[in-house]
Amino acid sequence: MIFNKDTAEKTAELLLQINAIKLNPENPFTWASGWKSPIYCDNRLILSFPIIRNYVRDEFAKNIEKQFGKPDVIAGVATGAIGIGILVAESLGLPFVYVRPEAKKHGRQNQVEGFLQKGQNVVVVEDLISTGNSSLMAVEALRNEGANIKGMAAIFTYGFGVAEENFKSANIDLYTLSNYENLLELAVQKQYITEEQQSTLQEWNAIPSTWGQD
Ligand SMILES: O=P(O)(O)OC[C@H]1O[C@H](OP(=O)(O)OP(=O)(O)O)[C@H](O)[C@@H]1O
Ligand SMILES: O=C(O)c1cc(=O)[nH]c(=O)[nH]1
């Protein structure tokens, strides 16, 4: 679910403005899940644009507090949400931890890095949701440390049914600044994508888990 329509439209506009949306149907991207896709949304670029990263920081901070109340700790899913997660924590005056995809093999062998106490209320920040698996693995690691997860806030979601089901079964409320629906609407309106690209995206969006795998 988006936090609100204004933020969803503005965030989509900013992502297009900084060329965070990449289209390459001829040479599809491989996602974290292994899915092939003609589209890639690179939210890491946000950190390189001070005005835009501050907008994302402020929208996250305001809406996280409104939606979930002020947590004890902000957690970022590594690596994509470490940078923006720190900015959000700083803005809210809160501690920050980050969660690796898996425990380190050496050193302290931590999956959750930073200071976290059992029973603390945590909001997890993520840059992007496709299947939701990366985010929910982070949630599991935090819960294993005794955290109480208040919810998850992400910059962008494709809004796939599989992600919705995954979040529902993990009992996690997911809110995002923007989503594929708002992005596509704006990209069409601004003629950012051609009619041919639109039809490729339509074909892909009907079968995202198997598209491009012949
Ligand atoms: O919802 P999912 O299907 O899990 O996919 C989304 C995940 O993929 C990306 O991370 P990636 O694995 O590319 O690593 P990075 O954050 O280190 O760039 C992104 O940052 C999300 O964490
Ligand atoms: O699923 C992914 O790995 C993924 C998709 C996308 O559009 N952007 C991204 O950073 N990761």
- Nearest alpha carbon to residue 7 among 176, 124, 188: 176
Sequence-ordered list of residues with C-beta below 8 angstroms from that of 17, at least 6 positions apart, any chain: 52
Whether 214 is in a domain gets the answer no
Mean pLDDT for all residues in the chain: 97
Whether 190 is in a domain gets the answer yes
Whether 149 is in a domain gets the answer yes
Residues annotated within the binding site for orotate are 130
What is the CATH classification number for the domain harbouring 155? 3.40.50.2020
- With 80 as the cut, is the pLDDT of residue 25 above it? yes
Domain range for 121 is 5-202
Q: How far is the CA of 213 from the centre of ligand 2 (A)?
A: 17
Whether 209 is in a domain gets the answer no
Q: What proportion of the chain, given as a percentage, has pLDDT over 70?
A: 100
- 3-state per-residue secondary structure call for 43-62: HHHHHHCHHHHHHHHHHHHH
Q: How far is the CA of 44 from the centre of ligand 2 (A)?
A: 10
- Which mutation among 21, 39, 41 tests ligand 2's pocket best, with the greatest number of atoms within 8 A of CB? 41
Whether 159 is in a domain gets the answer yes
Q: Is 40 in the pocket of ligand 1 (CB under 6 A)?
A: no
Strand partners, 2: 176
Whether 28 is in a domain gets the answer yes
Token output for 197: 């690209």
Average pLDDT over residues 2-14: 98
Whether 81 is in a domain gets the answer yes
**Neighbour order of strands in the sheet with 148-157:** 112-113, 96-99, 73-77, 121-129, 148-157, 174-179
77-128: pLDDT as tens digits: 999 999 999 999 999 999 999 999 999 999 999 999 999 999 999 999 999 9
The amino acid that residue 35 corresponds to is W
Q: Whose CA is nearest to atom 11 of ligand 1?
A: 32
> Where does the pLDDT of residue 140 fall: very low under 50, low under 70, confident under 90, or very high at 90 and above?
very high
Total of domains in the chain: 1
Whether 144 is in a domain gets the answer yes
d(CA 14, CA 125): 19
Q: Is 116 in the pocket of ligand 1 (CB under 6 A)?
A: no
174-196: pLDDT as tens digits: 999 999 999 999 999 999 999 99
